[in-house]
Amino acid sequence: MTEPKAVNPYRNLGAEAFWKRAISEKSPFELENLYTKKFDLDDLKIATAGSCFAQHIGRVLRENGFRYLDFERAPRRLPPEERAKYGYGIYSARYGNIYTARQLLQMFRRAYGQFTPKEHAWTKGGRVFDPFRPNIEPEGFGSVEEMEAHRASHLDAVRKMFRWANVFVFTMGLTESWLSREDGAVFPVVPGAAGIGTFDPGRHEFRNMAASEVLADMKEAIAAIREVNPSCRFLLTISPVPLVATASGNHVLPATMYSKSVLRAVAGELSDSDENIDYFPSYEIIASHPMRGMFFQPNMREVTEHGVNYVMTHFTREHRPQQNTTVAEEAAEENFDWTLCDEEKLEAFAE
């Protein structure tokens, strides 16, 4: 008896599986099926954190009527046009940019009293800055006591965010980090950038995280969040924004590609292994070569508003909000042309 002939596994695949049909024969604006959601976001409370690009994602979520969480709202006396400058309304709490998986894990551990960094405060010109949120008070605090009061209130907001979020959107940005040699605390920017704090090679060290380290940090952070919020789901993205500078010893271009490749591999592994972790390809939509760099500003680093909007059209094709009232109505009303990036302070060293 003759056995039936096996069907070639490529024979019945759709057009999106073939480069020629999916990419070469199409305009970048005709690309389809770049993202298929794993779960609905309907009526779910959404929190965001991550690198600079995450700020755009949060803003678009608010503007499109998703239930966006904001647990650290601006004082009413602060003019709306000033709020983003002080870190309000950018993320779901006033933590500034969270560039790395290690930072995310550290923020959780600090919020729940599991870790207290020994490097407590930075100074500049007699003013006090939080080493882990150096940009949220542009002029600094008047005293350590004032900074500590703001920090305590902030960490309380972080705890609420982790407990209440149905979906946590995290944009992974970097693998390069600066750590304390004393206790392993990780900073969002090298100590001493823009004159805030002091860099000391005896106290601070550079670390370019390997994929295994990033994966371990992300797994630990996700497990920790699920300890306090078992039903929380995760939506991961990768920032398409290149590095401002690298301390790896390599050219900034391959250093950027290393960082993004590691993050993409980790995000893919996490998403593939857990039905409650989704991945949205913002990095690919902006930075891949079929897009011909058209979504970047002339400096080939900053993403244009058109690029952000194009990315989010792919998102909203899958997730169509019902124009819900946002959890933080004040944040939804704010519309700032402002991006807060700690790492941009490194550009001063290029002069």
CA 148 to chain centre: 25
* CB under 8 A, 24+ apart: contacts of 260-264: 260/287, 262/175, 262/209, 262/210, 262/211, 262/214, 263/172, 263/173, 263/175, 263/214, 263/238, 264/238
Question: What was the pLDDT predicted at 7?
Answer: 86
Structure tokens at 60: 């678009």
Ordered by start, the domain boundaries in the chain are 36-343
Give the other-Cβ count within 10 Å of 272's Cβ: 10
Q: Per-residue pLDDT tens for 251-260?
A: 999 999 999 9
pTM of the full structure: 0.90
Q: Are 194 and 345 in contact (CB under 8 A)?
A: yes
Partners of 167 in beta bridges? 46, 233
DSSP string, 67-100: EE--SSPPPTTS-HHHHGGGT-SSSSSS-----S
Q: Parallel, antiparallel, or unpaired: how do β-strands 127-129 and 167-172 relate?
A: unpaired
Q: Per-residue pLDDT tens for 130-179?
A: 999 999 999 999 999 999 999 999 999 999 999 999 999 999 999 999 99
In this prediction, the residues of the chain whose per-residue pLDDT falls under 70 are 1, 321-351
Residue entry with tokens 């039936």: 4
